[in-house]
Copies of this chain bind each other. A is one copy, B any other.
Amino acid sequence: MKLEEIAKYLHGSFSGDGNIEISGPAKIESATEGQITFLANPKYKHFLAQTKASAVIVDNNIKDLEIPHIKVDNAYMGFLFVLKLFTPERELSFKGISQNAQINSTAVIGNDCNIAPFVYIGSDCAVGNNCTFYPGVVILDNVKIGDNCIFYPNVSIREDCVVGNNAIFHNGVVVGSDGFGFAPKGDSYEKIPQLGNVIIGNNVEIGANSTIDRATMGSTIIKDGVKLDNLIQIAHNCIVGENTVMAAQAGVAGSTEIGRNVTIGGQVGVSGHIKVNDRTVVAAQSGISKDTEPNSILFGTPALPIMQRKRIDVSLRHLPEYVKRINQLENELIEIREELKAKNGK
């Protein structure tokens, strides 16, 4: 592949001979002739003098380079995409629809789908084109799935759920499990019917073993472009807005609405029946128990604006010492009172 073509693919500008043939990517210290490398950290610039690479990907702000190079916004990311270009795509090696899959005769499967052994697809399902079902995936009745979706091993989706285009669900994801709802009945509990479903938009990625519960009535909704990490819990009737990102082990309780472009850190807990507004950022392990302002940056349990919480944490670290100072102040006041009393007594 020519340097010029790689530059185009990266939406970068190149300098040097665009016709140089690039055989692949390599690290700066081990690259050989014909390979392309990258320089993300200016402090490694001295390596450039010694590298045998034929070209280098650099950040836009790097100057005075003699070696043929491509300038991009983020050299590390650019290198990753070149690496991907030269790496054979990982895909299900099983092609076509396995005799060992069980697909209900009423299910409609689009073109160019690969369905591995031990996949189950229930009645009245509809699957778009170019979808991949890895082994152990279970799709129950009346699930609707768009185009270009990937379901990794042991994903399971319960009845009546809807998944848009370009979904990537990692191993063990559960979609459509019953919401957690029980009505007290004497000392015990009666199950509240969970009659709704889950609707997932386009371009959604969900991490391994995460769980998305169905709505009691209506729908739990995950909107376009949402990215969820592993082991996340989204409870019944939640709405997660466009392009919101949540890190691993975060959990959202029932009927909460999360806005768009929200960023939620790992192990964060969000209470039920609240609204996390657009572009809120929540630091890891925080607990959100009331509505948030748009664009706020929050930390702690209960969550506060991050600078306030950090000032509190700094003060808190010295609390035992403040207590000593309060004790001493009290003792001094007693002394002063006695001194004044003695004076008055004179």
Enumerate chain A interface residues (CB-CB to B < 8 A): 74, 77, 80-81, 83-84, 87, 90, 92-94, 98, 100, 102, 104, 116-118, 120, 122-123, 134-136, 138, 140-141, 152-154, 156, 158-160, 168, 170-172, 174, 177-178, 180, 182-183, 187-189, 191-193, 195, 203, 205, 207-209, 211, 213, 216-217, 224-225, 227, 229-231, 233, 235, 242-243, 245, 247-249, 251, 253, 260-261, 266-267, 269, 271, 284-285, 287, 289, 300-302, 304, 308, 311-320, 322-323, 325-326, 329-330, 332-333, 336-337, 339-340
Contacts and interface: CB of A to CB of B under 8 A. Distances in A.
Nearest to A213: B230
A140 B116 CA distance: 11
Contacts of A192: 77, 80
Nearest to A214: B90
A180 B227 contact: yes
B253 A266 contact: yes
A315 B304 contact: no
10 contacts: A80-B217, A87-B195, A93-B122, A118-B118, A138-B153, A180-B248, A188-B225, A315-B323, A322-B322, A332-B337
A202 to B, nearest CB: 10
A217 B37 CA distance: 14
Contact of A311 (B80, B187, B211, B320): B320
Nearest to A339: B340
Contacts of A158: 90, 152-153, 171
Copies in the complex: 3
Given A188-B203, A189-B225, A193-B84, A102 B102 contact: no
Contact of A120 (B77, B81, B118, B229): B118
Contacts of A271: 284
B330 A333 contact: no
Contact of A138 (B154, B251, B285): B154
Interface of A is mostly: loop
Contacts of A90: 141, 158-160
Contacts of A141: 90, 93
A99 to B, nearest CB: 10
Contacts of A320: 311-312, 314-315
A241 to B, nearest CB: 11
Contacts of A118: 102, 118, 120, 136
A174 B172 contact: yes
Given A152-B177, A187-B242, A269-B284, 18 more contacts: A80-B195, A93-B122, A93-B141, A116-B120, A156-B171, A170-B178, A172-B209, A174-B230, A180-B227, A182-B245, A188-B225, A208-B213, A211-B230, A233-B249, A247-B253, A312-B317, A314-B320, A339-B340
Contacts of A227: 180, 182, 189
